[in-house]
Structure 1
C-alpha cells in the first residue's frame, strides 16, 4: 500500500481531478475576464479589440472609486463587528445557561436566502409601516429617517442586516475555536485567582489568534465582493449612495450590456481583493506562534 501511495503517477491521478476543476472554475475564468476587459462587447454580438481603453476608463471612473470606498467601509465595519461576535462566543463558551439554545438562534439567519433576508429587512426599514420607524414614533420622534432612501444614512442602515446575516457563521467558528482551548489551562488560571476577563484576555483570545486573523481576512475580502443583499434592498441607490464594486459591475455588464467594461471592473475587483489580502496578511503576520 505504501509503495502504491508513494508512486508519483498514483498521486498525480488523485490530484488531477481537483486541479482540473480549479483550472476550469477559477483560473480560466480569471484569464477570460481579463481578456474580455480588452474588448468592446455587448455580450451577444462580435467583440471588438480596444486594448487597455476599458482599464484606463476604469482608473478614471469616479463611480468605480466611490463604489470601492463603499466596499472598503463595509469591510471595516464587518471587521469591527468581529469584536461583538467574539464577545458573544466568549459568553457562550463560558457554560452559561441556555448556551445551546442561543447558538441555534444565532444560526437562523444562515438558513435564510439573501433574497428572503432582503425582503424581511425592507419591511423593517419601511418608512411608514416599518417596525423601526413605528418604534421611533412611539418614542416621540416626529420625523423618523427614511433608512433606505436617505443617501447620508443608507450605507450605515445596510450594515445592520449584513451583520445580522453573518452573525451565526462567525460566532460558530469562534465558539468552535474557543472550545478547543484546553480546559486544564482555564482551571489552572481559576485556581491562581484569575478573573473571567483575565482568562479571556490572557488565555482564550491569544490561543485562538490564528482563527481571528483568518476571520478578519474573510470579513474584509468577503465585504469587498458583497453584492446580493445590497442589490435586493437598494440596488445601489439612492443615486449610487450604496453602490459597491460588485453591484456596479453587475449594472455595467447586465443592465447596460457593456460586458467589456463590466469585465474590466470584475478584474479590477480581483486585483483589489488580492492586494487587500496581501496587506492584511502582512499587517497580521507574527513571528511568534502561541502554543499549548
Structure 2
C-alpha cells in the first residue's frame, strides 16, 4: 500500500477528480466573472468588449461605495458580536446547569432558512402589529420607530437578525474549541488560586486563539458578501439605505440587465474579500501563534 501511495501518478489520479470539480465550480466561474466585467453585455445578446471601462465606472460609482460602506459596517458589527458569542461559550463550557439545553436553543436560528428568518423579523418590526412597537407603545412611547422604513436606523435593524442568525454557529465553534482545552491545565490553575476570569482570559483564550482568528475571517468575509436576508427584508431600501455590495451587484446584473457591470462589481467584491482576508491574517499572525500543551 505504501508503495502504491508513494507513486506520484497514483496520487495525481486520486487528486484529479477533486481538482476538476474545484476548477469547474470555483476557478472557472471566477475567471469568467472577471472576463464578463470587460464586456458591455445584457446577459443575453451579443457581448461588446469595452476593456476596463466597467471597472473605471465602478471606482467612481457613489452608490457602490455607499453599499461597500454598509457591508463594512456589517463586518465591524459581526466581529464585535464575536465577543458576546465567546463569553457565552465560556459560560457554557464552565459546566453550568442546563448548558446542553442552552446550546440547543442557540442552534435554533441555524435550522431556519434566511427567508423564514426575514419573514419572522419583518413581523417583529411591523409598524403597527409588530412585537417591538407594541412593547414600546406599552411603555408610553407614542411614535415608535419605523424600523425598516427609516433610513437612519434600517441598517442597524437588519444587523440584529443577521447577528442572531449566526449566533449558534459561532457559539458551537467556540464551545467545541474550549472543550478541547486540557482539563489538567484548568485544574492546575484553580489549585494555584486563579479565578474563573483569570482562567478564561489567561489560559483558555490563548489556547483557542487560532480558532478565534478563523472566526474573525469568517465573520468579515461573510459580512462583505452577505445578501439573502437583506434582499428579502428591504431589497436594499429605503432609498438604498440598506444596500450592500452583493445586493447592488445583483440589481445591476439581473434587474438593470447590465451583466457586464454587475460582473465587474462581483469580481471587485471578490478582490475586497481577498484583501481583507490577507489583512486579518497579517494583523493576527505572531511568533507565539502555536501554543504547546
TM-score (norm 1): 0.99
Structural mapping, 1:33-182, within 5 Å: 33-182=33-182
Structure 2 residue runs of 5 or longer lacking an equivalent are none
Q: Deviations over 1:232-271 (max 9, x none)?
A: 1000001110000000000000111110000000001011
The farther-off stretch of 187-196 and 72-81 is 187-196
Counterpart of 2:166 in 1: which secondary structure?
helix
What is the DSSP-based 3-state SS (H/G/I as helix, E as strand, rest coil) of the residue aligned with 1:75? helix
Structure 2 partner of 1:211: 211
Matched residue, 2:232: 232
Once the two structures are TM-superposed, the CA of residue 111 in structure 1 deviates from its matched residue by 0.5
* Pairwise CA RMSD: 0.6
Q: C-alpha distance in 1, partners of 2:264/2:167?
A: 33
5+ residue gaps, structure 1, are none
Mapped partners of 1:32, 1:232: distance in 2: 28
Q: Which stretch of the first structure deviates more once superposed, 260-269 or 282-291?
A: 282-291
How many residues of Structure 1 are paired with residues of Structure 2 in the alignment? 292
Superposed displacement of residue 86, structure 1? 0.2
Offset of 1:287 from its aligned partner? 1.0
Give how far 1:291 is off.
Answer: 1.8
Query: What is the CA–CA distance in structure 1 between the aligned matches of 2:217 and 2:27, rounded to whole Å?
Result: 21
Q: Give the TM-score, by structure 2 length.
A: 0.99
Q: Residue 216 of structure 1 aligns to a residue in which SS?
A: helix
CA distance in 1: counterparts of 2:235 and 2:286, whole angstroms: 40
Runs of 4+ residues over 3 Å off in structure 1? none
Tell me, in whole angstroms, the C-alpha distance in 2 between the residues paired with 1:291 and 1:265: 44
CA distance in 1, matches of 2:282, 2:2: 39
